[in-house]
Amino acid sequence: MRLLVIEDERKIARVITESLKREKYAVDVAYDGEEGFNLADSQPYDLLIVDRMLPGLEGTEIVKKLRENGKNFWGHFVCVGARAGTCEDIVFRFGRGG
């Protein structure tokens, strides 16, 4: 399974990435929204782990743009973020095709 972690806090990205690699997942990491979008747009990933608030493109913008172009994104993502309610909002918004 190939995963992409998009997280601007390098310590958090490292913890997530190292944990996943210990479980034998192939993991790439991007540290801002533009880099994350470009990676996800250029190759298929089974799962995106996306920070909600990123420099460049926010997590919701990345998911929306990938869904619009439909090239490599099948819709599997996990939201991470510090704000309460954020992930629920994203699931509601994108889980219903919005």
Task: List the beta bridge partners of residue 2.
Answer: 26
Q: Cα angle vertex 90, ends 89, 95, to 5°?
A: 110
Question: Which residue's structure tokens are 């889980």?
Answer: 95
Looking at the DSSP assignment, which residues form a beta bridge with residue 50? 6, 79
pLDDT band for 84, please (50, 70, 90 cuts): very low
Decide which of 16 and 76 is more confident: 16
pLDDT in tens, 31-41: 999 999 999 99
Q: How confident is the model at residue 69 (pLDDT cuts 50, 70, 90)?
A: confident
Hey, what CATH topology would domain 1-67 get? Rossmann fold (3.40.50)
Question: Any idea which of 29-33, 49-53, 58-62, 70-74 has the lowest mean pLDDT?
Answer: 70-74
